[in-house]
Structure 1
Amino acid sequence: MAVFTSHIPTRRFGLTDIFVIAFVFALLVSVLHLGAGMVIPFSPENQLEISTDPADLPYYAGRSLLRMFIAYGASLLVTLVYGSIAAKNRTAEKVLIPLLDILQSVPVLGFLSVTITMFIGLFPASLLGVELASIFAIFTGQCWNMTFSFYHSLTTLPKDLKEVSAMLRFNWWQRFIRLEVPFAMIGLVWNSMMSFGGGWFFLAASEAITVLNESIRLPGVGSFMAAAVEDGNMPAVGYAIVTMIVMIVLVDQLFWRPIVVWSQKFKMERTEAVEVPTSFVYDLLQRAVFVVWMQKYCFRPIAKAVYAAFNLAARLTNRTASQLESVTLLSYLAAAIKWILLLTILYSVGQQAYQGGRMVASLGLDKLEEIIALGCYTLGRVMVSSLLGVLWTVPVGVWIGTNPRLSKFSQPVVQVAASFPANMIYPFVAVFYLQHSVNFELGSIPLMMLGTQWYILFNVIAGAMAIPNDLKEAAKVYKLSGWQKWRKLILPAIFPYLITGCITASGGAWNASIISELVIWKEDRLNATGLGSFISQVTATGDWPDIIAGIAVMCAFVVVINRLFWRRLYQLSETKYHLN
């Protein structure tokens, strides 16, 4: 699928092309240089020393960005595969969606506790093992929100589009690339932006790892910030914050803004909008002759080859499936293989659950009741933070999403606010709370909101931007205004996106509790009674029974709430509030 216009420009090779070529060359050299730093020799006994010298921040920023984009690439791949399987196979959906609820509720420290030893074991004498553990931790902060968005888009495909694809006899690959991905594109782009921002939130936790009584740090802005906080070095904290803002703005303007402009071509509407988003970088790339050459002689041939290969594979799989259906013995054999694979997976999961259950059982009933009570405290904070987030994000998100001119100026501001890791300002909040004796049992709620409310906002913006222009014109014709317009057009249109945002925000709030319920500044500790602070403390000490019990209880809370409350609203959005 082409990204830029394919016409051959009449203008000649010029300064624009020189600038683009120089930028691409500098980017490639930087990636090679930063990547080389990921495979240097390493051992837990001789760890890297993290500097708080501002001169090292550009290199640290590059290392952090490289981890973020690698994690995002992996998240996008998992999103497309996992979301497609869950949306198209009802049997798989019954397993994959509850599993997704569990995965998004497992705290980043929980993933790190399990994976850090494994990755170091895979690359025992190289820093690459720790790098992969850090990237995997960032991946867990990005992937689940994107997967929920893509899955929901596929489950709300309009029936007429499904019928057209059936009439055209699309195979699974043609339907995926020509219908499903384009239909889900706007929501996927905005949720990708949010997920990328969510990765920043856990950057410090993934680069400055303290698990199982062992502290490991990687060069990056997050570890720089952690070192500055430990030293109580406020100027260094300020330098880290400025660096983070610069990174977020550059990524927004050079990467996300052009993609948002490009994604508008996938908007479902019969009439063209008067105002559309714009991007200086997107316009610059369209004018560059070099980009058109690369598209014609490099990108397009590769895209055609990939499309042809997958199209051939789709035809072969369809033919094989039809042959299996016609042969009774082979169909039974295929079903038997599926059941064997399913039982094998269930056995492996059950075995791990049994081992974890034995460790949890050793804690005793009283300890388990205490952990459940801590979960109830965190549940209250999650509910309050989600409700407060909805109250302000819905009107603001609709305002931004329905005004392209406003979106042009507000998107960078929102992107910076959403992407900026809230835990970087926790030291300032801790100082304020300590000076004014703020009750941290309640004071932790705003900290939790800082990391979760943006999931709702970005989904609402995506829903508002996806409203077809012809429906807006119809609202004008019928003279809908005020509450009537909200009730008849806006709220039904954004409802599926709002539910997706609330689900991911709720899961993100549980995950964020491990940071927001325990804040440390020098020798002072602000500790709110809750499951998040409990998991943070037992993870640092390496108490495996408590770690497993805490994560299991958190997962149970999330799954039960999603099944009893959010899932019903999700089904309502699938059946009543989607375009048909």
Structure 2
Amino acid sequence: MIQLPDSFSYVRGRETLARSQALRRSWPFVLDLCVAGIALACFYAVVQLARYWFGHPMPQIAISLSPRALPRYAFYSVVRIWLAYALSLFFAIGYGYTAAYNRRVEALMIAGLDILQSIPVLSFLPGVMLAMVALFPSRQLGVEMGAILLIFTGQVWNMAFSFYSSLKSIPRELREAATIYRFSPWQRLVELELPYSAIGLVWNSMVSVAGGWFFLMACEMFVLGSRDFRLPGLGSYLQTAASTGNARGIIWGLFTMIAIIVATDQLLWRPVIAWSDKFKFEQVETTSRVRSPLLHLLQHSRGLRTLRQHTIEPFAESIYQKLAENRQRDTEVSRRLTASDRRRRERWNATLRALALAVVVGGVLYAALHALSLLHQVTRSEFFEILLGAFATFLRVNTALLLASAWTIPAGVAIGFHPRLARIAQPLAQIAASVPATALFPVVLMALIRIGGGLGIGSILLMMLGTQWYILFNVIAGAMAIPTDLREVATLFHFTTAQRWKTLILPGIFPYLITGLVTASGGAWNASIIAEYFRLENHTMQTLGLGAVISAATDSGKFQILLLATIVMAMMVVTINRLAWRPLYRLAETRYKMSS
């Protein structure tokens, strides 16, 4: 055996160190090139999208089932879903903030949110689509904006509930700290409220995007009276393949959708989850953090760091400085105002509020009068059919909620408590939540028919497939938000499994669980329009239910039945929320609020 001299080992060590340093220096440059390439690709995509949207509207679009059309269809669908998500995020933050801090309108806004989240997508369809087409009659943009707004109605409500619930459960000591440091409303939003609600918003964003995929088939291809609206997209591709019984097209469409969902999970959701984990409210830092290699690379990109230091940070500092100057100036002006000036300003503000209220009330009364004129056309038999269908749908919705809660609560707690399990289960759950159940429903329905079932049982399964994810993702967010120090205390005191669930897990996840159940309930009512009325191989199958009434009325253009069925559904959901969910929300805000 030859003994190498020490100098040789020293030289080899120096060479290894030099190579590792060179690799460390070159890697940020490669990452910057990747970021630049992504930016150029996004610019090209925007140009191509603008050419299509601002072109002349296409009277009749034939949906091709060729796999070669899938990349273009997938691109259009992804753009629609993410534009709808961006609109949903801004709306959820603004709506939740206003409802949480304005006591005069809080009850009204939450009641409105209850109503809106219970209204099915197809009930929004006539007004939204006809309005958008009227605004842009000579451009394809009108139909596209209508589809985006319809997807928005299927995404936004659980995010608004989540942000509102997070604001109401902020610990008292954090609010007092913000008051002591004299945070402006903008600083309080950026430094306290958004970080505290980040975990809930992230997981509800994931289920919202999954909801967008679920309703994509209904939003890209539908019939409105005598008009047939079709948009090139993955949803219309899957709906065409399902309605014609083209198994090859369904497989290709699902494969493309799953590929998009997996890429989205690894490139977006995994880094965002790892980033939001730092906002967990705890006194002891956990040793098992959610990690993302992509987030690590982005945080060490020299180009992004330079961009942040020279653009974002100076811009944020200038905003903070301007807000502080305006606040100081307003304080000085208020000190100089006399009592008569203050009374005059208050009267002027009261006048403006009264005028705004009068405009809103006038618009509501005008719409209500026109609605009543439509309701006069509903016959007695149609009215009793709507009531009987409402009762049948009520039973299906609650059955679906019970069955979904039985497995999502323990599964969500397990995923939220174990980061290693979350790395495996979270992408699988995201894929399962995003795959439209309507694309899988033909196979399930045919199997149920063969064993003696039918659409009555199959509709419960479809409701579960579309809404159980609201509960699962909210429970995961609640389990992840439980402070590590509380979990360690439960371990130190050797809590049994029953004691751990009773004193730690259920109280810790309770606000998130209620949010998930409320949004799942509304989502189940919303999903009834697809679950109870389904087209299979050019045949329409339906069962007794309110969703079937709404879908049939939309297809036939009977707007009076559509309006009455929507009103009945909204009234039932609001009544349930007032009798059950609202007291539970108050319990979550008081007894199970995370504070010291």
Residue 382 (structure 2) aligns with: 367
Please report how far the alpha carbon of residue 321 of structure 1 lies from its aligned counterpart in structure 2 after TM superposition: 8.1
Q: Distance in 1 between matches of 2:234 and 2:323?
A: 40
Please list, as runs of the form range in 1=range in 2, the aligned pairs for 1:64-103 lying within 5 A after superposition. 64-103=77-116
Which segment drifts farther, 425-434 or 295-304? 295-304
Q: Among residues 141, 154, 160, which one is paired with 2:173 in the alignment?
A: 160
1:270 alignment partner, SS class:
coil
357 and 212 in structure 1: CA distance in 2 versus 1, 3 angstrom threshold: same
Please list, as runs of the form range in 1=range in 2, the aligned pairs for 1:236-275 lying within 5 A after superposition. 236-275=249-288
Residue 293 (structure 1) aligns with: 306
Residues 197, 420 of structure 1: 8 Å contact kept: yes
Residues 172, 314 of structure 1: 8 Å contact kept: no
* TM-score, normalised by the number of residues in structure 1: 0.94
2:197 alignment partner, SS class:
helix
Matched, 1:432 2:447: yes
Residue 205 (structure 2) aligns with: 192
Q: Distance in 2 between matches of 1:51 and 1:69?
A: 24
Residue 13 (structure 2) aligns with: none
Please list, as runs of the form range in 1=range in 2, the aligned pairs for 1:380-419 lying within 5 A after superposition. 380-419=395-434
Q: Distance in 2 between matches of 1:463 and 1:185?
A: 12
Please report how far the alpha carbon of residue 249 of structure 1 lies from its aligned counterpart in structure 2 after TM superposition: 0.8
Matched, 1:119 2:105: no
Which segment drifts farther, 257-266 or 162-171? 162-171
CA deviation map 1:13-37 (0-9, x unaligned): 5323323322332233223323432
Residue 14 (structure 2) aligns with: none
Q: Distance in 2 between matches of 1:316 and 1:132?
A: 42
Q: Among residues 239, 262, 267, which one is paired with 1:226 in the alignment?
A: 239
Q: Distance in 2 between matches of 1:363 and 1:524?
A: 27
- Residue type of the partner of 2:84? A
Residue 526 (structure 1) aligns with: 541
Q: Distance in 2 between matches of 1:232 and 1:515?
A: 17
Residues 21, 290 of structure 1: 8 Å contact kept: no
2:229 alignment partner, SS class:
strand
- Residue type of the partner of 1:486? W
577 and 127 in structure 1: CA distance in 2 versus 1, 3 angstrom threshold: same
- Residue type of the partner of 2:553? V
Residue 508 (structure 1) aligns with: 523
Matched, 1:11 2:40: no
Residues 444, 458 of structure 2: 8 Å contact kept: no
Please report how far the alpha carbon of residue 343 of structure 1 lies from its aligned counterpart in structure 2 after TM superposition: 2.7
Q: Distance in 1 between matches of 2:158 and 2:393?
A: 21
Which segment drifts farther, 429-438 or 114-123? 429-438
Please report how far the alpha carbon of residue 315 of structure 1 lies from its aligned counterpart in structure 2 after TM superposition: 6.4
Residue 3 (structure 1) aligns with: none
Please list, as runs of the form range in 1=range in 2, the aligned pairs for 1:15-164 lying within 5 A after superposition. 15-43=30-58, 46-164=59-177
456 and 430 in structure 1: CA distance in 2 versus 1, 3 angstrom threshold: same
Q: Distance in 1 between matches of 2:555 and 2:316?
A: 47
1:272 alignment partner, SS class:
coil
Residues 174, 311 of structure 1: 8 Å contact kept: no
Which segment drifts farther, 422-431 or 549-558? 422-431
Residue 4 (structure 1) aligns with: none
Q: Among residues 342, 347, 350, which one is paired with 2:357 in the alignment?
A: 342
Residues 430, 526 of structure 1: 8 Å contact kept: no
561 and 119 in structure 1: CA distance in 2 versus 1, 3 angstrom threshold: same
Which segment drifts farther, 421-430 or 507-516? 421-430
Please report how far the alpha carbon of residue 219 of structure 1 lies from its aligned counterpart in structure 2 after TM superposition: 1.1
Q: Distance in 1 between matches of 2:100 and 2:334?
A: 19
Residue 223 (structure 2) aligns with: 210
Q: Distance in 2 between matches of 1:444 and 1:149?
A: 27
How many aligned positions are there?
570
Residues 458, 531 of structure 2: 8 Å contact kept: no
Please report how far the alpha carbon of residue 303 of structure 1 lies from its aligned counterpart in structure 2 after TM superposition: 3.8
Q: Distance in 1 between matches of 2:458 and 2:334?
A: 58
Residue 479 (structure 1) aligns with: 494
Matched, 1:541 2:556: yes
Please report how far the alpha carbon of residue 317 of structure 1 lies from its aligned counterpart in structure 2 after TM superposition: 7.2
Q: Distance in 1 between matches of 2:492 and 2:452?
A: 56
211 and 269 in structure 1: CA distance in 2 versus 1, 3 angstrom threshold: same
Q: Among residues 472, 477, 486, which one is paired with 1:462 in the alignment?
A: 477
Residues 184, 323 of structure 2: 8 Å contact kept: no
1:14 alignment partner, SS class:
helix
Please report how far the alpha carbon of residue 200 of structure 1 lies from its aligned counterpart in structure 2 after TM superposition: 0.6
Residues 166, 196 of structure 2: 8 Å contact kept: yes
Residues 101, 559 of structure 1: 8 Å contact kept: yes
Q: Distance in 2 between matches of 1:241 and 1:125?
A: 34
Please report how far the alpha carbon of residue 306 of structure 1 lies from its aligned counterpart in structure 2 after TM superposition: 4.8
Q: Distance in 2 between matches of 1:311 and 1:436?
A: 70
Q: Distance in 1 between matches of 2:338 and 2:479?
A: 45
- Residue type of the partner of 2:74? A
Please report how far the alpha carbon of residue 439 of structure 1 lies from its aligned counterpart in structure 2 after TM superposition: 2.8
Q: Distance in 1 between matches of 2:125 and 2:270?
A: 32
Residues 207, 217 of structure 1: 8 Å contact kept: yes
Residues 146, 192 of structure 1: 8 Å contact kept: yes
Q: Distance in 1 between matches of 2:51 and 2:487?
A: 52
Please report how far the alpha carbon of residue 475 of structure 1 lies from its aligned counterpart in structure 2 after TM superposition: 1.3
- Residue type of the partner of 2:306? W
* TM-score, normalised by the number of residues in structure 2: 0.92
- Residue type of the partner of 2:25? R
Q: Distance in 2 between matches of 1:393 and 1:309?
A: 47
- Residue type of the partner of 1:225? L
Please report how far the alpha carbon of residue 208 of structure 1 lies from its aligned counterpart in structure 2 after TM superposition: 0.7
For the aligned residues, what is the CA RMSD? 2.0
Q: Distance in 2 between matches of 1:116 and 1:213?
A: 14
- Residue type of the partner of 1:137? L
2:25 alignment partner, SS class:
coil
- Residue type of the partner of 1:131? E
CA deviation map 1:84-129 (0-9, x unaligned): 0000011111211100111111111111111111100111011100
Residue 5 (structure 1) aligns with: none
80 and 306 in structure 1: CA distance in 2 versus 1, 3 angstrom threshold: farther
1:451 alignment partner, SS class:
helix
Residue 10 (structure 2) aligns with: none
Residue 182 (structure 2) aligns with: 169
Which segment drifts farther, 102-111 or 474-483? 474-483
1:277 alignment partner, SS class:
coil
Which segment drifts farther, 489-498 or 320-329? 320-329
Residue 448 (structure 1) aligns with: 463
- Residue type of the partner of 2:439? M
- Residue type of the partner of 2:309? K
Q: Distance in 2 between matches of 1:320 and 1:558?
A: 48
Residues 278, 408 of structure 1: 8 Å contact kept: no
Which segment drifts farther, 17-26 or 475-484? 17-26
CA deviation map 1:127-155 (0-9, x unaligned): 10000000000111111110000000111
Which segment drifts farther, 338-347 or 304-313? 304-313
